């Protein structure tokens, strides 16, 4: 993996983001957007690591990298960018993709 291209992630609460390798960000972002549905009930946050883990492994994501940490950081970035949203009043936390055109 190329390591010199980096991205500063965003945080939905306006906190300081994290500077991570673009290649890892892109792999995790793609995997998350594949598993987070547009349906109203979404997917449980706690299931994301299990759902994206095999995709990341198949794509060559480094074994020494913390999948859970990257999933959390990229999920927060996607929330800040409006690419995923939390399902209102869902506990534990659930995520969905916004419906198209909104």
pLDDT at 102 over 70: no
Residue 81 is assigned to a structural domain of this protein: yes
* pLDDT tens column, 83-96: 999 999 989 999 99
Q: Determine the 3-state secondary structure of 8 from DSSP.
A: strand
Domains: count for the chain: 1
Structural domain span for residue 76: 6-96
- Kindly state whether residue 27 falls inside one of the protein's structural domains: yes
Q: What is the pLDDT of residue 65?
A: 85
What does the pLDDT look like over 16-68, one tens digit per residue? 999 999 999 999 999 999 999 999 999 999 999 999 999 999 999 988 889 99
Give 1's pLDDT tier (boundaries 50, 70, 90). very low
In this structure, the strands spanning 19-21 and 6-8 are antiparallel
Is residue 37 domain-resident?
yes
* pLDDT score for 101: 60
What region, left, alpha or beta, does residue 101 occupy, with left being phi > 0 and alpha being psi -120 to 50 degrees?
Answer: left
Say if 102 falls within a structural domain.
no
């Amino acid at each position: 993996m190329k390591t010199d291209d980096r991205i500063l992630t965003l945080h939905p609460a306006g906190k300081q983001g994290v500077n991570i390798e673009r290649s890892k960000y892109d792999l995790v972002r793609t995997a998350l957007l594949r598993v987070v549905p547009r349906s109203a009930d979404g997917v449980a946050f706690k299931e994301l690591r299990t759902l994206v883990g095999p995709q990341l492994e198949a794509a060559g994501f480094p074994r020494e990298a913390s999948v859970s940490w990257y999933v959390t950081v990229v999920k927060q970035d996607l929330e800040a960018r409006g690419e995923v949203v939390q399902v209102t009043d869902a506990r534990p936390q659930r995520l969905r993709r916004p419906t198209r055109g909104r």
